[in-house]
Homo-oligomer: A and B are copies of this chain.
Amino acid sequence: MFDEIFKNTGKTKSFSKGAILQSAGQKLSKAYYVKKGLLKSYIIDEKGKEHIFMFASEGWIVSDIESQAFKNETVFFIEAIENSQVVIVEVGEFSQSEKNQKEFNLILEALAKRIGVMQRRILSLMSASAKERYEYFLQTYPELPNRVPQKMIASYLGITPEALSTIRNKITKRH
């Protein structure tokens, strides 16, 4: 992970639950390393509906890598869903400093990892049912259901809270 690079960059800020760290439409988006707490990044579609793109708990990084690289406006909102301590990293530092071989490989590895996560998500959205996606989510993030309201999990899975409730009911009933 980016851990080694980001952990000690200073600039730790605290955010209360509900605080918005970044809004869609802003330029010059930053990278957020979560020391403590939990963030979500999400979009709001034309119908005003929220779609959670990712959760970030301790040790994770959230950022709109594409908008950083190309200096576009970001499409993502980022919000603290627990009281959180976050290291904010300017993108400039990231791309301009002299990189040694080791840092280069760390960054490549982190990007490759993220690409892998997204590939699996795309494939499962194309090929798996909501129930299968939920079960896969539970395996991948076993601790999140205790920290996150169900409607956010539904939003992450791309389904309605009602549908998730029904799925959970079915899973428990045929124990």
Q: Mark A91-135, 1 if CB is under 8 A from B, else 0.
A: 000010011010011011101111110110111011100000000
The residue from B101, B105, B107, B158 contacting A125, defined by CB atoms under 8 A apart: B158
A141 at the interface (CB under 8 A from B): no
- Beta-carbon nearest neighbor of A157 in chain B: B126
Q: Please tell me if A66 contacts chain B, counting CB pairs below 8 Å.
A: yes
A43 on interface, CB distance cutoff 8 Å: yes
Which label, helix, strand, loop or mixed, suits the secondary structure of the A interface? helix
Q: Does A45 contact B (CB under 8 A)?
A: yes
Known A-B contacts A53-B119, A115-B118, A119-B118; the reply to A69 vs B108 at CB < 8 A is yes
> Which residues of the other chain, B, contact A116 by a CB distance below 8 angstroms?
65-66, 70
A114's partner among B51, B105, B115 (CB-CB below 8 A) is: B115
B109 touches A69 (CB 8 A): yes
CB proximity of A125 to chain B, nearest CB, Å: 4
Query: Is A95's CB under 8 angstroms from B66's CB?
Result: no
A44 to chain B, nearest CB (A): 10
Q: List 14 A-B contacts (CB under 8 A).
A: A49-B127, A51-B123, A53-B123, A65-B111, A65-B112, A65-B115, A66-B112, A66-B119, A111-B112, A115-B118, A118-B122, A125-B125, A125-B158, A127-B158
